[in-house]
Amino acid sequence: MANILLITGTVLSGYAVYLIVSSVLASLGQTQEIQLSWASGEAPQKSKSGVIRLTRPLLHRLIPFTNRFQLTEYKEKIKRNIQAAGLAAELNENEYVALQVALGFIFPIMITVLNLLFNLGYPWIMVLFFAVFGFMYPYLYVKGEKDTRKTQVLIDLPFVVDLLALSTEAGLDFIGAIGKVVDKMTGGPLAEELGQVLRDLKLGSSRAEALNALAWRLNMSEVSSFIAVLVTADSLGASIGTVLRQQSEQMRQERFTKAEKMGAQASQKIFLPLVLFILPAVLLVVFGPVILQFIGS
């Protein structure tokens, strides 16, 4: 019964904080929901994060206040991280900043209300912890999505480069090879980004501009170096097929070297668990009967 009351109190407290903040913002003249400007002119997609979905109406009221602070460099950095995480369709830099401010106040207020209502005895340092956690939540969410996407791109990249090399050696030009790769791949972030390259080319961007935009969106050193080689080869008139084949072999060699390095590190990482957990268990099994017999005698 106590757990049910605690959960109910948590939900009601959170909803009360949401209503209070929303009413305060509305009383300051922001009564209507503000439509954000998106590059595509469309409304944002439904976010995968439940926190963002619940707080989005509040964020649209809060954005006019956070926009009073320019934060140009900070927002540019946020924008690039959002692009690299593949979240540009569901979140923009203005919502990100507003979410940091909102959660930085909502979380500690909820903990304070629960602490006072139910006499939970939480130390006040807990309030500071939740304030920091609320402020950092957008960063942690974007970083998690970015790391997941980066891993998938690194897995797909050698395969994609092989397909591009085979397509160009079969007689297709580079743009046609990209189209063939996009058609053959069943999905994934790299296929989506290559599809965006094709759309940029159709809108009039040059090949170098479209490829550099791809490197900017993914924000990965491996992709950036690969794109730089392609752009340089294209500007010098070198054979794209030969360059792609060389890049494919180099990527596979780098992956093999990285796997060997991780394998060598595994023996060092397992040493501490071996000493702390496995070795005491082995010693207990081996010497335990001897010790018991000694104690019994």
CATH class belonging to 150-262: mainly alpha
State the Cα–Cα distance between residues 203 and 218, nearest whole angstrom: 20
Is 56 in a helix, a strand, or coil? Answer: helix
Given pLDDT bands bounded at 50, 70 and 90, which one contains residue 106? confident
Q: Is the pLDDT of residue 38 over 80?
A: no
Q: Is the pLDDT of residue 34 over 50?
A: no
What is residue 14's predicted lDDT score, i.e. its pLDDT? 60
Structure token digits, residue 38: 């998106």
Average pLDDT over residues 129-143: 93
Query: Could you tell me the pTM of the whole model?
Result: 0.75
State the Cα–Cα distance between residues 132 and 105, nearest whole angstrom: 9
State the Cα–Cα distance between residues 207 and 198, nearest whole angstrom: 9
Q: Other CB atoms closer than 10 Å to residue 66's CB: what's the count?
A: 19
Q: Is the pLDDT of residue 228 over 80?
A: yes
What is residue 29's predicted lDDT score, i.e. its pLDDT? 43
What is residue 287's predicted lDDT score, i.e. its pLDDT? 87
The chain-wide mean pLDDT, for the chain, equals 82
Between CA 214 and CA 224, with CA 220 as vertex, the angle to 5 degrees is 60
Average pLDDT over residues 84-113: 89
Range name among 67-81, 151-165, 250-264 with the lowest pLDDT average: 250-264
Q: Render the burial of 143-176: b for 16+ CB within 10 Å, e for the rest.
A: eebbeebbeebbebbbebbbbbbbbbeeebebee
Q: Other CB atoms closer than 10 Å to residue 291's CB: what's the count?
A: 10
Q: Is the pLDDT of residue 278 over 80?
A: yes
Q: Check if the beta carbon of residue 125 is closer than 8 Å to that of residue 61.
A: no
Average pLDDT over residues 109-130: 81
Question: Best-predicted range by mean pLDDT among 178-187, 208-217, 248-257?
Answer: 208-217
**How far from the centroid of its chain's Cα atoms is residue 151's Cα?**
11
Domain boundaries, the chain: 2-28+43-147, 150-262
Q: Which helix (H) or strand (E) holds 194?
A: helix 189-202
The better pLDDT of the pair 99, 11 is held by 99
State the Cα–Cα distance between residues 96 and 36, nearest whole angstrom: 12
What is residue 12's predicted lDDT score, i.e. its pLDDT? 64
What is residue 11's predicted lDDT score, i.e. its pLDDT? 63
State the Cα–Cα distance between residues 205 and 234, nearest whole angstrom: 15
What is residue 31's predicted lDDT score, i.e. its pLDDT? 37
- With a pLDDT cut of 90, the percent of the chain lying above it is 22
